[in-house]
Every structure is written in structure tokens, then in C-alpha cells.
Chain A
Amino acid sequence: MADPNRTVVVTDGSNDASAVSGAAAGVQSSPKGEKGAGTDPSKMDQQTLAAVLQFLKNNKLRDAEAALRREAKLPDGNGDSGGSSRVATSGEVSLVLSAYESEGDLARYCEYYNSLSSFIESSLDAHKHELGCLLYPVFIHMYLQLVYNRHEKEAHKFFNRFSVEQEDWHQEDLRTLSTVKTREQMEGNDLMDTFRSSKFVLRMSRDSYQSLRRYLKQNEHRELLSILQDHLFIDVFDGVPRNREQVQATSGAMMGEARRDANKVKVLYGLPKEPDINVPLDDDDEGVEGEDKPKKKKQKKDLLLNKNKKADPNAPPPSRIPLPELKDADKLEKVLSWKEGLKRVPLGRENLPSICFYTLANAYQNVSAVGVSEDSSLLAAGFEDSNVRVWSLSPQRLRTMRNASELDQLDKEADDIVERMMDEKTAADSWLLHGHTGPVYSTSFSPDREQLLTSSEDGTVRLWSLHTYSNLVVYKGHNYPVWDVQFSPTGYYFVSGGHDRVARLWGTDQFQPIRMFVGHYSDVTCIQYHPNSNYVATGSSDRTVRLWDVLNGNCVRVMTGHKAAVHTLAWSPDGRYLASAGVDKNVLLWDIAYGRLLAEMKGHTDPIYSLCFSREGSILASGGIDNTVKIWDVQKVFEEIAGSDDLTSLDRASLVEVGSLLLGSFQTKATPVLKLHFSHRNLLLGCGRYQHS
């Protein structure tokens, strides 16, 4: 039996995250014998080893050769090329690449590829689509082998001949690939590193897999076999082969689909019990108006509170993650938001929301980020000229705190001390924050609206005080552009993600990250904190959405299906569903409980940059640079799956069949929709910068 990890070259991009799932996969897949296909694995190992040693000798890489020999003498199974590459330093890059060394007849690759594609074409319709997924990774690795072995001309011919046959959504990567024409260029190319170091994951039914094995047995194509063994991971499941739509729905990610076992861990997606709050200010404003009214309201509120107090079986225990304790101000905040919630307009198919749109005019520099505070009272815009500007959306103007000597004179026991701390003279409609040295890519308000986080191209995350409108902390850690930063719903924690492919969890009082979420194959483009603060969802330009457990930093869900970079995420208020969208113009809706795709919403004509669920979760709003806000009926999907909780179909992505979900589409004049936000009363707020034609 071949060990599927045999040639996995572990780079820093994947070791942490795949540690758990990778090991599990190794154990699980070995007994199934996907890779065996009629070869003696130990012999193969020896051959590969010999080939590598030969190659090293030829290239006079004596140190590497010595290291490899030393490693190979180790008795355990890992002591092959995979082990050696683990000690590979940058000076021995070619050794790492030696996975592509092949002594076969490379000129016949066209033939092999043709043979494989005609086999897939002639196979039964049931298997055709699952087997069709093989073509792309095989194509890529054949091309890379040709390039690596300096058959540039053949490689070019091979590429031109077969690249057109690949699916549309692969074209982005193929374009990157097409630029790589020599062995030297393979080094230091991010995409090459990814293909080299990770396995392309395919899922197919046992039947399809059997027919593939038969084909491989009949045709002794050693090169093809070695590619399948070294660079592909075939996840076999028992059941009916998937059809074209099902295969397409989950394909598209840079490194294939998610492994089945990657989504097995139970996710505690429920919301925790609301803490008991004795509200001192509760009846203050209501006591004045007669006797009956407050009682009624109180009853209503009690109902609401009771609802929240019901223990959710899926909720994580409250002490799972240490959360900051609620301050008096936070409690007051919660009560106020409940009160606002009472005035909420129920939305649905019949009741579409009202949309209030904020247009930024006279912005000479492009606006690259907009953030709105949870209670819809503040708005922050990040500009490409490195500035951040904060506006008040409520009649309350923005004031700074008094200076120290004045503060000292205040009576600290006064009830309205918070109010007195503020200097009326400084009231302004907006404040400008200077500090970043590159375009600002995201802004996020703390839940108490006292702080603001921004992330920028300059590789830093900055924390600003909204009392003094000054910079408090600079978090350095990402050395590359930071694409997104988000506060946790409870404050204190926040997550940032950027070009370095890592999402980092921070506490506001520490300048070192608390957790690093490693596993994406490309930039982490967007982040959303789960409503219960125990999980973090990230979207990436490797076209996957991942869910991370804050407790242990593990990746607990990998969701594939996007055909281009993901740029925005949104959680449903109950924490079970996640919506994602991006450059591929589709909105995808995921069920976190099982990590499956529920629905696909098509309609936008340009990349989508904002998503938001209504407060009760029945409606999803999406907006993008096609200047439209679209309203989707997600309630319909939820009703559908509640009706048929079909657990058997979970292995296969089966889209819930519900016609069109589009409820409304509203176009702005010339303003891209960069941010959407539902207020407590379910008023939809949108924001963007007016673009002169």
C-alpha cells in the first residue's frame, strides 16, 4: 500500500492546518487502497529514491545527496523524498522540485493525456463527470513535468493543445501557469509551490474509481500513474456517482474539493444563552407614560428574553473561549438593542426592506473599504490615499474627550460622567484619521463603538480610539498587505488576514497574535467572526471558504464551490448558515452544520463586495460594483431543508431545488455598493463612492 503522504512536501503554508486532517486522511485512505493500482509501493519508493539520487549526483548537489542518503537510511516509512524535502533549505530548491523528475518518455505525454481523456469520454455517463475532474490536475502536473525536464517546446505545444479543453473557472490559474516556461521560473512562483506541495483533492464514487483502476491496469502508463499517486488525493465514497451539476457545484477551488473527512468535526454553531441582565434603566423612559403601556412592553420583552434564554443544544459552553466580562455599559447597550429590536419590521417575500443609501461624494481617491458600527450610528471609510474617515450617521455629532486637566476636575461619581467627559467644542460631522501608509482595505468598529480597527496595504493593523481620534496600537505581524480585519462580536478579540495566507487572531492588549490560522493556499481575502465568538470564517483567493475553531486553531470546515476569489462573507443571525460571494459574481449559501452547499444565487454582473443577512435571517442582501443591491429570499431555502433533512445526501453536494430566489434588484446611479448593513429595525443601509463618468 502506498502512503499517500509519500511525496507531500510540507511547506509552512500547510503544515499547521492540515496536521489534524492530513493525518486523519492518511489513516483513512490507506486501507481503501486508492493508490495501489497494481504496483509494488516499496519498489516504487526505491525507484523514486534512486532517481532522485541520480539527479542529485548529476547536478553535483553533494550536500543534498548526502542528506537524502542519510535520511533514506532511517527505517521508518517517511524516510523518503518527502522526509528529505522537509529538511530542504532554500539553497536546495531544485531538490524539492525533483518530484517532477521523470525518466519516462516525456514526448508521449500528449498521447497519454489524449488516452485518458478519450477513456473518460467513452466511460459511462454516470461516471463521466466525476472522472472528468481528473483531467485538470493531470494536465497541470504533466505540463509542469515537461517544463521541469526542460522540454520547453513540448510543454508549450502540450499547453496550447489542451488548455482550451479545461473548464472556464480554471482559466485564471492556467493563465498564471502559462507564464511559467522554464524550470527557473518554477522556483518562487506561489502557484507552483502550492501545486508542488499539496495534493489536488478529488472525490468520486467507488464505481467511478473502480472503472479508473481498470483503465490504469489495462494501460501501463507509468507517468500517468505516478502523477495520480504523487499529486492527487482521491477521496472515494460509497454511493451513487454525482451528476454534472453536483460535480460543478463544488469544484473550482485551487486545490480541488474539500476532503470528506475535513468537514466531519462537529461545529458548535449555536448561540450561547444570553446572560441575565438586571436592567436598571429599563423603565426610566416608560414610567412616565401611564400605567398600562410599560406593562405590555415588558411582557413583550420578557418573551424576547425568554427566547434567547432557551438553551441551544448546539451552543458551545460559555466558558469554552474566555470572553471579556460585560461592563455596565455593555449591558445597557444590549438592552437598547433589544428595545430597537422590538420595533423591527418583519421582512420576507411580501415585505421587502427599505434601503437608505449613503453616497460618498467628492472623493478624489477611491474608497476601498467601508465599515458600519453594529448599531448603525457610525460609518468609517478607508481610502486609497491611506486616510480613514469616520462619520456619524445619527444626529449625535462626533466629539473628543476633554484634556487631562479638565477631566481631573470632573465629578467622577456623576451619573452622566460619560457625557461630561466629552468636549462639546470639538463636535464635528466627521473625523479624519491619518497613520497608514498604503490603501486602507478594511475597517471594523468595536461593539462598544469606542475603538476602530483598520488594515492596510502597508502590512499593519491599526487600532484607533474614537474618544480621542488618535492611533492607539499598531499591530505588526503580517508583512504583506492585510486585506481584512474584523472585531469579534464581544470585542477584545479580532482577526486579520492578508496576502501572507495566514489569518491571525489577536487580543487588543497584546501585540503578538494569539492564534494563527494556516491552511489557505492563497491570500486570505475576507473574514467574518461567528456570532458566538467561537469560530472564524475566512474566504480566500484560492476559492475556498474555511471555518476555524478559535479554541485550538483547527480548520473545521473547508467549503469549495466558488469559481473565483471570495471577497465577502456573512453569517446568518442564528449562526448556522454562512453566505459567501466574490469575483465570480455568485452568492453561495452554506450550511455550517454539515459544511454543505445549499444554494447558489446568480444575478450580479460584476464582483460582489458586500453581503448582509436581515436581523431575523429571512432575507439576504448583496451588493457589488455593478452598482446594484439585490435582495434574496433565503427563507425559502431554509424552509426547504427543514422540510427534508436528508442526511444521506450530505456526502454529495445537492443544491436545494427552489427556483429563483431573487426578490428585488435596486440600481444606484453610479455608485458601487461597497457595504450593506441591516439596522436593528431591519432598515438596510448601503454605502459607496459616487463615480463620475
Chain B
Amino acid sequence: MSDRVLPDVTAESIKVIAESAGIGQLPDEAAAALAEDATYRLKQITQEAVKFMHHGKRRKLSTADFDNALKLKNVEPLYGFHAEEHIPFRFASGGGRELHFYEEKEVELGDIINAPLPRIPLDVNLKAHWLAIEGVQPSIPENPPPVPKEDQHAADRPPGVTAKPSGKDGTKPAGKPGKAEVKGLPSEVAGVKLKPVLTHELSVEQQLYYREITEACVGSCESRRAEALQSLATDPGLHQMIPRFSTFVCEGVRVNVVQSNLALLIYLMRMVKALMDNTTLHLEKYLHEVIPAVATCILSKQLCQRPDVDNHWALRDFAARLMGNMCRNFSSNINNIQSRMTKTYTKILHDEQSHLATRYGALAGLAEMGHDVVKSLLIPKLKEEGEKVKMLMEGPVHNSVDKTAAEHIRALLLKHCAPVLAKIRPGPDNQEQYKTDFGHLGPLLCAHVVKARQQQQQQQLQATTTTAAAASVVQRPTLQIPQKSDWVSCSLVFAQINSCFKTIFCESEKYLDDFASDS
């Protein structure tokens, strides 16, 4: 108990205070006596202040509580120590001394007088919502999400089972609440406890919501779609419905690939993106449905009716980015999403017979996996791919479809490899050198690398003057996938990556929108 008591005011502090009040030589005894009394008074006032905190129905003690406690003791309150949230003292240490001080900024009066008036704060208002309806809490934005994300995650990995066997072919043994997959099994097989099968029913409201959202997402009205996607991306409490949504996406892609309905495929991918953006959802359990669907949109031979005119490349880019994001967010050493996807992509590249559009998808997919992948898998292939592009574009038998494909592949490679090369390749950039190293693409690549280098230098300049993060997001700099050892920079880089991808997604989405409305 006694060691929990607040530290006492020391005689030294009293002396410092006395000095600042103009009393030079304070005898030790006097300081000690004063220190003891000051401690007592301070503790007494603090105890009174706590009462005010309790009556203010707060958890935090505020400076106003202290003022009120002083008033209670007939002491004039301290003026000028008003703080919204915390006590405005700052801590500093140095030279073996630790101290707390009150920061007093010098304020230019002219600035205040000339400053435009601040906005009038919003008035207090009263808003009603249903916290519970006959004992059931409705899933509305005003209420907290029914199951926090951590709990969803915990349900994913039951205690005691540390490593879940990864399912064959990317399917996971999903213990979805909605599906009765383990039916027929005895409830205890070889000591493994299985949860009883639950049939999960959606409430009428949820069914309505599902219908509205799915209709809006694939419907023709763009503003409704935007609203629906916004809802998917922000509403808490959707987790009970993810199995339905992921099945919807999965089936939708299956049907529309066969029918080569590009617009619908784009809408479905945007739904996946919205679901991934929702911070309250945990998609991991449903990846076995989502990943094949996304992969199809990256790699399928044909995604549209007229491959020569329609811009299915944008869809492939978009889906590849989604996949890259998924790998970053959900890949673990149990499901190995990243390495499995990488393997799939490289298999396609090794296959000489693979369709050009599929090849493009594989390259795009690899490019979105991050710079390490680009460095180790894409750059060594530059020469080979360059030759292929050259053959297609300048070869004797060429049709327009192959030619556009070749152009897109070239643009893709240049766009993704240049920044990485700028990082790993020492300058100066020599056209000839590039030509020998990378073959046909060499000269173009060289020009892009030079540009990339300039951009990087600009960024570094900006980073020294202003905040680096904001600039780097716009410029899309090279971001190293962090090593595990360096966790601090890791989180920083992740934040950057995230914001980076957000901007990119926004851009490509805009593009997709334009495109979808055209077709």
C-alpha cells in the first residue's frame, strides 16, 4: 500500500520554488517542514479533486477538478491551467535530471488578431437510436460491431490448435457459421473436438440488406453502387454476412467469365476491394472463395467480348493489386498465399504456350507482389520478355490483338521495373550497357530508369524539407519489403505501403469507372 502512495514533494523542490519566488537562502529545516506540509496539502486536494471527477462521471481527472477542490478548501483556484484532456505538463530529462514543465509558447498577438475567425462549433444535439430491440442489439452503425475483429480472429484459431492444416488447393477447412460442412462426422474424432454444427440464419433485415447491396453493386446505377460499396467498406457488423458475400463474388466471377462480361467482373472486384477495406471484417476464413475469383480476373484468357477493343488490362491490373494486397495482409506461414500465387504466376511465364493476356496477368501479378519479387523474378526475365515483345511487334505475322498485348506488356514491365532498377543498379545509365543487359527493352528501360532516378532525388529533397510520407504516396517510390529484424521501420513502411495502395486503388478505380460507363 505505502509504495503506491504518491511520491512526496522533496525539500529540493521547495528550495527551487523558493528561489523562483525570490527567497534565496531557505534553511534546510524550513524546506523540509514546508515539503512535508505541501505534500499533505497536495494529497488532500487531490483526494477532493477525485470526488469531483466521480461526480463529473468521468474516468480522467481534469484541471477543473483541481480548481473545484481548491475552491472547496477556500483557496483561490489556479488560473490559466485549462486543458481539454490531459494535464498540460511536459516531461523532459537530461543531465541526469528529470523534470516536468509547463510549456508556455510565445504568441504573436498580431497573428491572433489578423487570423480569420475559427468556424463556429457545432451545436450540441440529441440523437436517438436503438441500442436493443427486445433484447437483441441491432447491427447499425450507431452500435458497436457485435463481435470485435480480434474475436473473429480468435474464433479462426481455436485455442489449442496452433497450426491449422492448410487445405488442399487453397481451400481452407472453413468453420463458417453459415455452412454445415462437417455434417455427418461424429462430434469427437480421434480426440479432436468439433464444434456442433450451427445453422446460421440471417435476420430479415440482413436478408434485405444483402439483396439491396448485391443488386446495387452489379446494377446499372453508378451512384447507388458507390453508396453500396461505401457501406461495404465502412459498416461494422457485416461479419455474419461475409460468407454470403464471398460466395456471391465467387459464383458471380464463375458465371461472368464464361459469358465474358467485363463490366460485371469489374463490379465484383470492386466489391472484394470494399470488403477488404472494411476494418471491422476479417476475410481470412473466406479466402478460399475470394482468391480463385480474383486470380481468375488476373489470369483468364478471355475476360471480354472484344479483346481487341475492350480494356480488360485495367481489370487485370486492378485484380493484381488486390491480390498483392491480400498476400500482404493475409499471407502466413500456414497458408503460404504469397508463395503459392508466385508459383502460379511463374509457371505461366515458363509455359511458352500460354496466352498473351494470361502472360500479362502473371506479369502484373508478380509486379504487384512487391519489390523483392520484382527484383528476383521479373528483372531476370526482362531480356526474354523483351525478345518476345519485339517478335510480336515487328514480326511478319501479327494481328492487332497480339500487338496491343505486346504494347501493354512492355508498358507494364517498364513501369514496374524502372523504379526497382533505379534503386539497385548503380549509375550512370548507359544505353549500350542496358541494351546488352536487357536486350530489346534496354534503351527504353534506360530512359525510364533515368526518369525514376530524378523522381527519387526529388523525393529525397522533399523528404528533408517536408514530410516524406505525403510526397512518397503521390510519387509511388520504391518501397523495400522490410526485413523481419527491423520492426520499427517495418510498421512505418507498412503504413506507407497502405497509403500508397490506397491512392493507386483510387486512381485505377476512377479509370475502371470511366471504362465501365463507356462499355
**Residues on A facing B (Cβ under 8 Å):** 159-160, 163-164, 166, 171, 174-176, 178-182, 185, 189, 351-364, 366-368, 379, 384, 389, 391, 430, 438-439, 441, 457, 480-481, 483, 499, 523, 525, 541, 565, 567, 583, 606-607, 609, 625, 629, 631, 663-664, 666-669, 672, 674, 684, 686
Which secondary structure dominates chain B's binding surface? Answer: mixed
Q: Can you report 18 A-B residue pairs in the complex whose CB atoms are below 8 A from each other?
A: A175-B5, A179-B40, A354-B132, A357-B129, A357-B131, A357-B142, A362-B124, A368-B56, A391-B126, A457-B68, A481-B55, A499-B72, A583-B54, A607-B54, A631-B135, A668-B143, A672-B57, A684-B132
A176 to B45, CA, bound (A): 11
Q: Does B106 contact A (CB under 8 A)?
A: no
**Residues on B facing A (Cβ under 8 Å):** 1-2, 4-5, 36, 39-40, 43-44, 47, 51-52, 54-59, 64, 68, 71-72, 121-135, 137, 142-144
> Smallest Cβ distance from A240 to chain B, in angstroms?
33
Please name the residue on chain A nearest to B130 by beta carbon: A356
* A181 touching B40 in the complex, CB below 8 Å, given contacts A355-B130, A361-B127, A606-B59: yes
Neighbour of A362 across the interface among B2, B55, B125, CB < 8 A: B125
Q: Which residues of chain B have C-beta atoms less than 8 A from A367's C-beta?
A: 57
Q: Which residues of chain A have C-beta atoms less than 8 A from B71's C-beta?
A: 457
Of listed B55, B56, B59, residue having the most chain A CB within 10 A: B55
B1–A181 touching, CB < 8 Å: no
Q: Which residues of chain B have C-beta atoms less than 8 A from A189's C-beta?
A: 44
> Smallest Cβ distance from A389 to chain B, in angstroms?
7
A175 to B5, CA, bound (A): 7
A668–B1 touching, CB < 8 Å: no
Please name the residue on chain B nearest to A541 by beta carbon: B51
* A351 touching B134 in the complex, CB below 8 Å, given contacts A182-B36, A625-B59: yes
A439 to B56, CA, bound (A): 8
Q: Which residues of chain A have C-beta atoms less than 8 A from B123's C-beta?
A: 362
* A176 touching B47 in the complex, CB below 8 Å, given contacts A163-B2, A362-B123, A583-B54: yes
A625 to B54, CA, bound (A): 10
Q: Which residues of chain B have C-beta atoms less than 8 A from A164's C-beta?
A: 1-2
Please name the residue on chain A nearest to B33 by beta carbon: A182
> Smallest Cβ distance from B49 to chain A, in angstroms?
12
Neighbour of A355 across the interface among B40, B47, B51, B131, CB < 8 A: B131
> Smallest Cβ distance from A63 to chain B, in angstroms?
27
A176 to B129, CA, bound (A): 43
A666–B51 touching, CB < 8 Å: no
> Smallest Cβ distance from B333 to chain A, in angstroms?
34
> Smallest Cβ distance from B148 to chain A, in angstroms?
10
A41 to B106, CA, bound (A): 72
A625–B57 touching, CB < 8 Å: yes
Q: Which residues of chain A have C-beta atoms less than 8 A from B127's C-beta?
A: 358-359, 361
Please name the residue on chain B nearest to A379 by beta carbon: B126
Neighbour of A366 across the interface among B40, B57, B130, B143, CB < 8 A: B57
Query: With A179-B43, A481-B68, A607-B54 given, can you name 16 additional A-B contacts, CB distance below 8 Å?
Result: A178-B1, A178-B2, A179-B5, A179-B47, A352-B132, A352-B134, A355-B131, A355-B132, A356-B129, A357-B130, A364-B121, A391-B126, A439-B64, A481-B52, A583-B54, A668-B143
> Smallest Cβ distance from A507 to chain B, in angstroms?
26
A367 to B58, CA, bound (A): 9
A354–B133 touching, CB < 8 Å: yes
> Smallest Cβ distance from B141 to chain A, in angstroms?
9
Which secondary structure dominates chain A's binding surface? Answer: mixed
> Smallest Cβ distance from B57 to chain A, in angstroms?
5
Q: Which residues of chain A have C-beta atoms less than 8 A from B133's C-beta?
A: 354
A379 to B124, CA, bound (A): 14
A364 to B39, CA, bound (A): 33
Q: Which residues of chain B have C-beta atoms less than 8 A from A389's C-beta?
A: 124
Please name the residue on chain B nearest to A692 by beta carbon: B85
Q: Which residues of chain A have C-beta atoms less than 8 A from B56's C-beta?
A: 366, 368, 384, 439
> Smallest Cβ distance from B392 to chain A, in angstroms?
56
Neighbour of B132 across the interface among A178, A583, A664, CB < 8 A: A664
* A361 touching B57 in the complex, CB below 8 Å, given contacts A178-B1, A352-B132: no
B68–A438 touching, CB < 8 Å: yes
Q: Which residues of chain A have C-beta atoms less than 8 A from B125's C-beta?
A: 360-362
* A352 touching B57 in the complex, CB below 8 Å, given contacts A181-B36, A362-B121, A541-B51: no
A351 to B133, CA, bound (A): 10
* A669 touching B143 in the complex, CB below 8 Å, given contacts A179-B44, A361-B124, A625-B59: yes
Q: Which residues of chain B have C-beta atoms less than 8 A from A354's C-beta?
A: 130, 132-135
B137–A666 touching, CB < 8 Å: yes
Q: Which residues of chain B have C-beta atoms less than 8 A from A672's C-beta?
A: 57
A666–B131 touching, CB < 8 Å: yes
Q: Which residues of chain B have C-beta atoms less than 8 A from A356's C-beta?
A: 128-131
A366–B126 touching, CB < 8 Å: no
A185 to B42, CA, bound (A): 13
Please name the residue on chain B nearest to A631 by beta carbon: B135
Please name the residue on chain A nearest to B123 by beta carbon: A362
> Smallest Cβ distance from B55 to chain A, in angstroms?
5
A569 to B442, CA, bound (A): 82
> Smallest Cβ distance from B242 to chain A, in angstroms?
21
B126–A358 touching, CB < 8 Å: yes
A567–B2 touching, CB < 8 Å: no
Q: Which residues of chain B have C-beta atoms less than 8 A from A163's C-beta?
A: 1-2
* A664 touching B40 in the complex, CB below 8 Å, given contacts A361-B124, A625-B57: no
B57–A609 touching, CB < 8 Å: yes
A686 to B1, CA, bound (A): 38
A384–B64 touching, CB < 8 Å: yes
A352–B2 touching, CB < 8 Å: no
Q: Which residues of chain A have C-beta atoms less than 8 A from B40's C-beta?
A: 179-181, 185
Q: Which residues of chain B have C-beta atoms less than 8 A from A352's C-beta?
A: 132, 134-135
Neighbour of B57 across the interface among A181, A360, A368, CB < 8 A: A368
A609 to B127, CA, bound (A): 21
A631 to B52, CA, bound (A): 28
A179 to B39, CA, bound (A): 8
Please name the residue on chain A nearest to B1 by beta carbon: A163
B2–A525 touching, CB < 8 Å: no
Q: Which residues of chain A have C-beta atoms less than 8 A from B47's C-beta?
A: 175-176, 179
